[in-house]
């Protein structure tokens, strides 16, 4: 039983985001959910017949880097415009709608990137309670040069005549700017107006209702059978365990695989937390040697993930056989995992990275799968955890990748390099906590680089490892910005690592945003 996209009462009001390659597609979906409307991301060429089956109340066409008139540019099924479902095109999405329906899109010499001032030229339900003049965020070189007679112009900027348009007889709207980003000051209000005034949504997506429905669904499906839950100590598996504990109580068994890739003292912390808060049947598998053997000599990130996934399956399966009556396997798969792994039936097909907890496990282990968080973003999981009564120290723990420190130990993974990384990572997190900034940041960790550099320590020349510190701020982990930590804090972190961690003589700070960089280095 995979608890995914079903037409429950919470998801009855559904909006689809068609992804045309935008870096903001996931952010659009999050903004829609903030309006208590369930939203999914689907591929740009999804068939109109499939859309009709999903029965959304609205469609949003995302932006994208292509030019609609270029050969090979992503297109949508033109029959979408005949379904009568409200459509909001954003940037490329607007240009595509205008292009397909008779307008003309051109490259303009006056390109707009960044903040711009827009002016509403015509009243419309889309603009209810929106200031007539406001700041928007532009990111385009092409723009609509002419609209078809069936369209009308609604708003403009100094360099863009058609900043907003709508079809005269169909519920089709277009915005040349990006309402989903915070730099567009009235953007959230515009999206809300589209959802309520144009699509007719009332806001049925509530996490409390989602939890109640999911717990009831798990209880009904599982019956008297036993469920196994893989624990990592992170918020995702903790929330899954909390939901299962609420649904089936003593029928739950948890397995923690100590793969040797955990953070400092993490196994001890997980055992204490789950013994204290859940009093569940907890099995700990000591498997460091198996994982290090599987990773010996491997440097490719994807191959690391594959080998870790296969080894995890072997270790997990051996322990699971010892648990009598186990029929189901519960996993903390999240919606970003599904999107980035290309595992969604209707979602974008590109694989950004492999997730060892997305696909594959049920067939190999012989269990039926339970993924109660499969439709949620990370911030939704945190709020759900608090609603389920989990302590804040678990709910607000920074995320940790499924493959563990292996994808933060760039190059070959060895016990010695892992010990070095563990010690440095503990200093990074410890100093950020001591500065009172742990909750103010979203994810902070150390990355051991396969790079050596010259240094001088105690009048002697050294040639030791370089280590990067990564710290980001984000709402949904689909986009992120690097954290602007105080210089004195960074100095303390660097000094302590170089002085206390043997084999490291240089510390650098990662100031890359996502996109174009990912949060993890591998």
The residues, any chain, with a CB within 8 Å of residue 283's CB and separated by 6 or more, are 253, 254, 255, 256, 319, 322, 323
Complete edge-to-edge strand list for the sheet that includes strand 252-258: 281-286, 252-258, 226-231, 326-330, 368-370
| 498 phi and psi angles, rounded to 5 deg | -65, -35
Q: How many helices (H) and strands (E) does the chain have?
A: 15, 18
Active site residue 183: no
Q: Could you tell me which residues come within 8 angstroms of residue 182 by beta carbon, excluding any fewer than 6 positions away?
A: none
Helices (H), 196-260: 207-222, 235-248
- Choice among 178, 355, 356, 398 that is catalytic: 178
DSSP for 152-195, written as a single string = EEEEEESS-S-SEEEESSSSEEEESS-TTSTTSTTHHHHHHHII
Annotation says 186 is catalytic: no
Q: Which of 180, 266, 273, 380 is catalytic?
A: 180
Annotated catalytic residue: which of 91, 98, 160, 229? 91
Q: Is 237 annotated as a binding residue?
A: yes
The reply, when asked if residue 62 is annotated as ligand binding, is no
Is 63 assigned to a binding site?
no
- The annotation status of 469 as a binding-site residue, yes or no, is no
The β-bridge partners of 152 are: 166
Strand order in the sheet with 172-175: 38-43, 14-19, 58-61, 87-90, 172-175, 164-167, 151-157, 104-120, 133-146
- The answer to whether 232 is a known ligand-binding residue is yes
| Nearest-5° Cα angle at 34, 358 to 61 | 70
Cβ count within 10 A of residue 67 = 16
- Please say if 392 is a catalytic residue: no
What is the four-CA torsion angle of 437, 439, 443, 445, rounded to 10 degrees?
40
Residues 6+ apart with CB under 8 A from 463: 452, 453, 454, 455
Q: Which residues contact 391 (CB under 8 A, 6 or more apart)?
A: 277
Q: Supply the residues annotated as catalytic.
A: 91, 178, 180
Known binding-site positions: 232-238
Known binding-site positions for ATP: 232-238
């Amino acid at each position: 039983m995979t608890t995914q996209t079903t037409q429950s009462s919470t998801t009855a009001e559904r909006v689809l985001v068609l992804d045309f390659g935008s870096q903001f597609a996931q952010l659009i979906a999050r903004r829609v959910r903030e309006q208590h409307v369930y939203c999914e991301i689907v591929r740009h060429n999804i068939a109109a017949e499939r859309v009709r089956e999903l029965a959304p109340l609205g469609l949003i066409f995302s932006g994208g880097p292509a030019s609609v008139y270029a050969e090979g540019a992503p297109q949508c099924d033109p029959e979408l415009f005949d379904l009568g479902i409200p459509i909001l095109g954003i940037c490329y999405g607007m240009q595509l709608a205008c292009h397909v329906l008779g307008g003309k899109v051109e490259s303009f010499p006056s390109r707009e990137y960044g903040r711009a001032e827009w002016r509403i030229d015509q009243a419309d339900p889309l603009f209810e309670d929106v200031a007539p003049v406001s700041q928007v965020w532009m990111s385009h070189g092409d723009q609509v040069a002419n609209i078809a007679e069936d369209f009308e112009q609604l708003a403009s900027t100094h360099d863009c005549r058609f900043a907003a348009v709508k079809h005269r007889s169909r519920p089709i709207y277009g915005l040349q700017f990006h309402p989903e980003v915070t730099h567009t000051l009235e953007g959230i209000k515009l999206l809300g107006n589209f959802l309520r005034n144009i699509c007719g949504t009332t806001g049925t997506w509530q996490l409390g209702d989602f939890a109640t429905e999911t717990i009831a669904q798990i209880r009904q499906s599982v019956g008297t059978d036993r469920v196994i839950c893989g624990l990592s100590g992170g918020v995702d598996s903790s929330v899954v365990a909390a939901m299962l504990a609420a649904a089936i109580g003593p029928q739950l068994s948890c397995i923690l695989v100590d793969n040797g890739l955990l953070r400092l003292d993490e196994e001890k912390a997980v055992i204490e937390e789950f013994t204290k808060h859940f009093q569940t049947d907890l099995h700990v598998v000591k498997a460091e040697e198996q994982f290090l053997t599987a990773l010996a000599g491997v440097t490719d990130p994807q191959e690391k993930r594959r080998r870790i996934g296969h080894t995890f399956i072997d270790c997990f399966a051996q322990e699971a056989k010892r648990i009598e009556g186990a029929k189901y396997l519960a996993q903390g798969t999240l919606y970003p995992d599904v999107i980035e792994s290309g595992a969604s039936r209707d979602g974008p097909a590109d694989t950004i990275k492999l997730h060892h907890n997305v696909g594959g496990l049920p067939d190999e282990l012989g269990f039926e799968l339970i993924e109660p968080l499969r439709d949620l973003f990370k911030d939704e999981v945190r709020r759900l955890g608090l609603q389920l009564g989990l302590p804040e120290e678990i709910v607000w723990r920074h995320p940790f990748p499924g493959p563990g420190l292996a994808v933060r130990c760039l190059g070959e993974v060895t016990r010695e390099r892992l010990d070095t990384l563990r010690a440095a990572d503990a200093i990074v997190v410890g100093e950020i906590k001591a500065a009172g900034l742990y909750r103010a940041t979203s994810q902070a960790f150390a990355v051991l680089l396969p790079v050596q550099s010259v240094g001088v320590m105690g009048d002697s020349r050294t040639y030791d490892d370089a280590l990067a510190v990564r710290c980001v701020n984000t709402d949904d982990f689909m986009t992120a910005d690097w954290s602007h930590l105080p210089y004195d804090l960074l100095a303390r972190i660097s000094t302590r690592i170089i002085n206390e961690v043997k084999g490291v003589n240089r510390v650098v700070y990662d100031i890359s945003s996502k996109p174009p960089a990912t949060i993890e280095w591998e």
